[in-house]
Amino acid sequence: MTSAGSVLFVDDERAVRLAGQQALELADFEVTACDGAERALRLLGRDWPGCLVTDVRMPQIDGLELMERALALDPELPVILITGHGDVPMAVEAMRRGAYDFLEKPFPSDRLVEVARRAVEKRRLVLENRRLRDQLAGAHGGDGYPIIGRTPGIERLRATIAAVADTDADVLVLGETGTGKELVARALHAGSARRKHPFVALNCGAMPESIIESELFGHEAGAFTGAAKRRVGRIEHASGGTLFLDEIESMPLSLQVKLLRVIQERIVEPLGSNDQTPVDLRVVAATKVDLRQASSAGSFREDLYYRLNVVVVTIPPLRERRDDIPLLFQHFVLQAAARYNRDPRAPTPAQTQRLMAHDWPGNVRELRNAADRFVLGLDDALAASGAPAGSGGLSLAEQVDLFEKSLIESELARHKGSVKATIEALNVPRKTFYDKLKRYGLSREDFVE
């Protein structure tokens, strides 16, 4: 049977201690009973998986001091105080200082179980979010631009970025809408010697043709009607750093030839000027289309395509890296919770299965929007988010496999790689469990902290 969670129960009265322990164990809690604060403090720490229940009136170290010491070890540890009738005002004050709840004697056993269940669930979410934050920090090496995931495609992407970031090679980033092309460009910039200089981004598809030339190359005063003073273009402003050109396939042909000259000669000539200004920059271009086909169709210059096609970084779509979806989703949940001042929560296994079964045509951007709605509570079980009830093109067997794999990963992570605890939580035979690890390419060592 799966445990309801861990409770550390502290009371110097043997009868009260035994009654509380019995009530909690009957509700499937794992209870550690202590007759004083000293032993309890030896057991507590940031990794304690449950809550602390303590009487207030105890000799030597009372419950309030125990609470303060426990919260000094971990401010997010749920502490439940047991108080006598005359101690209620004091208990209310203790809650202002960090106590989770209090129980006034005499209290029914079901009240103790109810409060403990809520406290343990809160503790589970706290530890799960800590684990995910640590996992996410490791996913991007702390560079501030996380390329999150553990699938082979993302591992290859990170390896390519690491290999070419600290060079001056121009880069072409290929990826569908919403895959994170600008994030890759920023990661390239952050990993280069240019990181202290500007990162200048321009979306070629969002800029009207009438002003994109001025935006890129700048202009002198009087170069055209309305040009009252000189303006430095994006190319010149990026000198020393990185110029990121998103949706480069949308750039007008007339400007492509001017951009080709900038890339080849590293000079820029503003509108209305005969002077050429040298620039020291790296160009990172991004596209969602096949530029070779575009050049064959005459909508993109072939010479510019070959000039850009030196180092190519390809971002896999989300549907080809489904195993990364739970980690990515929780990353966006943590971000949204901080942004909207909400408590983060983890999706249920059934909700995770729905996330992994969906095809995500909007890729990571669509997943992030779904996480925002999940945090705001705007849809139930992600039904109205980017994850509909449909199979996303997967067969029933594939959906079952995705669900089973994600459930095993979740339990292994929750139990820090403990096979014994995971087998008990999943209620499966040991041989069956190891067979499934082999089938899904999982290793318990990946989850040991």
Q: Has residue 241 got a pLDDT over 90?
A: yes
Report the alpha-carbon angle 50-414-71, nearest 5.
30
pLDDT of residue 381: 41
Spatial distance between the Cα atoms of 411 and 409, rounded to a whole number of angstroms: 6
- Name residue 33's amino acid: A
Instruction: Kindly list the distances between the CA atom of residue 152 and the CA atoms of 155, 160, 177, 322, in Å, as whole numbers in the listed order.
Output: 5, 12, 21, 11
Question: Do 303 and 184 have their domain in common?
Answer: yes
CATH of the domain at 35: 3.40.50.2300
95: which 2 tokens? 């809650």
Closest to 440 in 3D by CA, of 393, 406, 392: 406
Question: Can you give the pTM of this predicted structure?
Answer: 0.62
Q: 242 pLDDT band (50/70/90 cuts)?
A: very high
Q: H or E element: which one contains 54?
A: strand 51-55
Spatial distance between the Cα atoms of 385 and 398, rounded to a whole number of angstroms: 22
Q: Which of 295, 316, 337 is the last residue of a domain?
A: 316
pLDDT of residue 146: 74
Q: What is the DSSP code string of 356-388?
A: HHS--TTHHHHHHHHHHHHHHT-SGGGTTTT--
Closest to 132 in 3D by CA, of 334, 323, 377, 318: 334
Within a domain: residue 102? yes
Within a domain: residue 67? yes
- The 3-state DSSP class for residue 98 equals coil
CATH of the domain at 293: 3.40.50.300
Q: Which is it for the CA torsion 289, 290, 295, 297, positive or negative?
A: negative
Q: 223 pLDDT band (50/70/90 cuts)?
A: low
User: Average pLDDT of 134-146?
Assistant: 54
Spatial distance between the Cα atoms of 395 and 391, rounded to a whole number of angstroms: 7
**248 compared with 226, residue with greater pLDDT:** 248
111: which 2 tokens? 């009240």
Question: Do 175 and 310 have their domain in common?
Answer: yes
Within a domain: residue 266? yes
Within a domain: residue 280? yes
Residue in the block written with tokens 């970084």: 313
Closest to 170 in 3D by CA, of 98, 259, 95: 259
360: which 2 tokens? 């995500």
pLDDT digits (tens, 9 = 90+) for 41-97: 999 988 888 999 999 888 888 888 999 999 999 999 999 998 876 677 777 788 888
pLDDT of residue 273: 79
Alpha helices (H) in 207-362, listed in sequence order: 209-217, 234-237, 253-265, 291-296, 302-308, 325-340, 349-357
Question: Do 184 and 305 have their domain in common?
Answer: yes
Q: Mutual orientation of helices 109-140 and 325-340 as an angle, nearest 10°?
A: 110
Spatial distance between the Cα atoms of 100 and 97, rounded to a whole number of angstroms: 9
Q: Has residue 295 got a pLDDT over 80?
A: yes
Q: Has residue 10 got a pLDDT over 90?
A: yes
| Cβ atoms within 10 Å, residue 188 | 29
Burial class (CB in 10 A: 0-12, 13-18, 19+), 353: buried
- The 3-state DSSP class for residue 41 equals helix
Q: Has residue 410 got a pLDDT over 80?
A: no
Residues 426 and 408 sit within 8 Å (Cβ to Cβ)? yes
Question: Do 55 and 185 have their domain in common?
Answer: no
pLDDT digits (tens, 9 = 90+) for 88-118: 777 778 888 888 988 888 888 999 999 999 9
Q: Has residue 136 got a pLDDT over 60?
A: no
Spatial distance between the Cα atoms of 203 and 212, rounded to a whole number of angstroms: 10
Question: Do 218 and 236 have their domain in common?
Answer: yes
Residue 305 — φ and ψ, nearest 5°? -60, -45
User: Average pLDDT of 181-205?
Assistant: 93
CATH of the domain at 429: 1.10.8.60
Spatial distance between the Cα atoms of 235 and 278, rounded to a whole number of angstroms: 10
Question: Do 128 and 175 have their domain in common?
Answer: no
Domain count of the fold of the chain: 3
Residues shown for the chain:
449
Spatial distance between the Cα atoms of 30 and 5, rounded to a whole number of angstroms: 6
User: Average pLDDT of 120-132?
Assistant: 81
pLDDT of residue 157: 93
Q: Has residue 184 got a pLDDT over 50?
A: yes
Which percentage of the chain shows pLDDT scores above 90?
42
Within a domain: residue 194? yes
392: which 2 tokens? 């996303």
Q: Which of 296, 316, 336 is the last residue of a domain?
A: 316
Within a domain: residue 145? no
Report the alpha-carbon angle 328-333-336, nearest 5.
125
Question: Do 232 and 335 have their domain in common?
Answer: no
Residue 245 — φ and ψ, nearest 5°? -110, 100
Residues 266 and 281 sit within 8 Å (Cβ to Cβ)? yes
- Name residue 122's amino acid: K
Question: Do 221 and 281 have their domain in common?
Answer: yes
CA 103 to chain centre: 37
Q: H or E element: which one contains 201?
A: strand 199-203
Q: 399 pLDDT band (50/70/90 cuts)?
A: low
Q: Which of 300, 316, 332 is the last residue of a domain?
A: 316
| Cβ atoms within 10 Å, residue 94 | 21
pLDDT digits (tens, 9 = 90+) for 358-398: 889 999 999 999 999 998 888 554 554 444 444 455 565 66
Question: Do 178 and 299 have their domain in common?
Answer: yes
Structural domain for 81, as ranges: 5-137
pLDDT of residue 349: 74
Q: 286 pLDDT band (50/70/90 cuts)?
A: very high
Spatial distance between the Cα atoms of 87 and 62, rounded to a whole number of angstroms: 13
Question: Do 273 and 352 have their domain in common?
Answer: no
pLDDT of residue 285: 96
User: Average pLDDT of 196-201?
Assistant: 95
Q: 416 pLDDT band (50/70/90 cuts)?
A: confident
pLDDT of residue 170: 94
pLDDT digits (tens, 9 = 90+) for 432-447: 888 888 888 787 776 7
Mapping DSSP onto H, E and C, the string for 112-139 reads HHHHHHHHHHHHHHHHHHHHHHHHHHHH
Q: Has residue 139 got a pLDDT over 60?
A: no
**Maximum Cα–Cα distance across the chain:** 95
Within a domain: residue 142? no
User: Average pLDDT of 171-195?
Assistant: 94
Question: Do 301 and 323 have their domain in common?
Answer: no
Spatial distance between the Cα atoms of 369 and 436, rounded to a whole number of angstroms: 33
Within a domain: residue 340? yes
pLDDT of residue 368: 93
**334 compared with 381, residue with greater pLDDT:** 334
pLDDT of residue 1: 44
Residue 284 — φ and ψ, nearest 5°? -115, 115
Residue in the block written with tokens 């993302």: 154
Question: Do 399 and 342 have their domain in common?
Answer: yes
Please provide the average confidence, as pLDDT, over all residues in the chain: 84
